[in-house]
Chain A
Amino acid sequence: MKKCKRFKRLISDYIEGALNVTDKTSFESHLQDCVNCADTVSRVTKLSTRMKKLKHIKTSEDFNTVLHTRIRIESGIGRRRLHEIVWSWPAKVPVYGMALAIIVIAVVLVLEQIDNPYQSPAPAPYINAEWYGGNPDQQTSSDILTETENVIYVIERTSPEKLIQSQGQSLNSSYLDSINRTQDSDSLTLRNSQSYQVNQIVY
């Protein structure tokens, strides 16, 4: 029994092939004599294999949108403003909620012209679509953002001036189109907009 205790300490090393020859030989000869330890080794081996096959879950589809928005909010807007924005969110219009929020944030950013401590000395986060779409030499296909991600990214990175322009034109049709496309593939739900509360954003 005392022997078993000692061998049980070596089980992981044994199944991972990390024992030296001497230890391995004595371990295996113990397994020949001890059903109890042999069963344990078999179960630990199975367990270890089974753990690797546990179902993998995926982040929700609006993960990136929410993250980008949180970054923008954290970067540019003070606590009071944020409070107002969150409370004035059009919670009953989930389809446009996030898009409008992004516009509101962009407008506020411009109006307040707040310096963003996280972005200096780094360049401003507004990257145009041409640049964004075209740097084929830098990534492999698995590394390039998918079309959906790209659309979201481009909308989010559109300069505030352009967003205001779009807003001024009561959201021109091509802009609305691009938002709709994003929303379709991104299935923004009411739950998601509502779970986005002040205390999660303000630090």
Chain B
Amino acid sequence: MTHEEKTKKPSDEELIERFQNGDLYAFDLIVKRYKNQLLNFVYRFLGNSEEAEDLVQETFLRVYRNRKAYQKVAKFSTWIYTIAGNLAKTELRKRKRRKFFSITDLGYDDKDYDISDEAFNPEKTVDGSIKEEIIHQEIQSLSPKFREVILLRDVQELSYEEISKIVNIPLGTVKSRVNRGRLKLQEKLKHLLKN
């Protein structure tokens, strides 16, 4: 891409403004820009790709529905990540409630699932996909408050400032949460992160 082309590329904020003025092509460009990155964020947050896709659909429906509510003072990416993150957290709460009412789940906790004892086999990890699966599972075993910020930082690569706005907690808290999340996760994945 040449420099000239780069400068021509409309910003997210320009696109949403065009969309607010009735340009549906701009809406589709927003969808195109964000659908996969939101999908990956929500997928790692909820652990399930089908649920994640549904939730990303819902996110765009809300953007469509509430487009007039978006105001230029905020970055568009912050706004859309906030919507997706809130929907994901609502989904987790729903799950918790379902779990509470489900007799079969009584006494079964995520912590019972310890991949490092049985499922983990050093030979298997030669295959990258198994490593992937283990990492994915261990991300799921983090509590949502750590999971959310660590995903936004390490998978989505957002700045601490933006994460602070998305999650609506102070910057210092975000930083220490990311750090603590990383420490927890490296502890769980010790066997994979050897020299």
Contact = CB atoms under 8 A, between A and B. Distances in A.
Question: Does A pair with B?
Answer: yes
Interface of A: 8-9, 11-13, 40, 42-44, 46-48, 50-52, 54-60, 63-64, 66-67, 70-71, 74, 118, 121-123, 125, 127, 132, 135, 137-143, 145, 149, 153, 157, 200
Contact of A9 (B135, B179, B190): B179
Contacts of B64: 71, 118
Nearest to B19: A122
Nearest to A71: B64
A200 B183 contact: no
A48 B195 contact: no
Given A12-B178, A57-B49, A59-B36, 19 more contacts: A8-B183, A9-B179, A11-B179, A43-B190, A47-B182, A54-B44, A55-B132, A58-B36, A59-B53, A59-B56, A63-B57, A66-B57, A70-B61, A71-B64, A74-B65, A141-B5, A142-B9, A145-B32, A157-B24
The binding surface of chain A is classed by DSSP as helix
Interface of B: 1, 5-6, 8-10, 21-22, 24-25, 28-29, 31-33, 35-36, 39-40, 43-44, 49, 53-54, 56-57, 60-61, 64-65, 132, 135-136, 150, 154-155, 157, 175-176, 178-179, 182-183, 185-186, 189-190, 193, 195
B183 A11 contact: yes
A64 B193 CA distance: 39
Contacts of B185: 47
A121 B67 CA distance: 13
A153 B54 contact: no
Contacts of A63: 35, 53, 56-57
Contacts of B32: 143, 145, 149
Contacts of A48: 154, 182
A50 B9 contact: no
Given A143-B10, A149-B32, A44 B5 contact: no
A63 B57 CA distance: 8
Contacts of B24: 125, 127, 157
B191 to A, nearest CB: 10
A145 B10 contact: no
Contact of A67 (B60, B155, B193): B60
A139 to B, nearest CB: 7
B157 A118 contact: no
A42 B1 CA distance: 36
Contacts of A132: 25
Contact of B31 (A13, A47, A52, A64): A64
B56 A54 contact: no
Give the most central of A8, A55, A141: most B CB within 10 Å.
A55
B46 to A, nearest CB: 12
A139 B64 CA distance: 21
Given A58-B36, A67-B57, A140-B8, A46 B29 contact: no
The 6 lowest CB-CB distance pairs between A and B, nearest first, are A122-B22, A51-B154, A12-B179, A43-B193, A43-B186, A123-B22
A42 B56 CA distance: 35
Contacts of A51: 135, 150, 154-155
A54 B182 contact: no
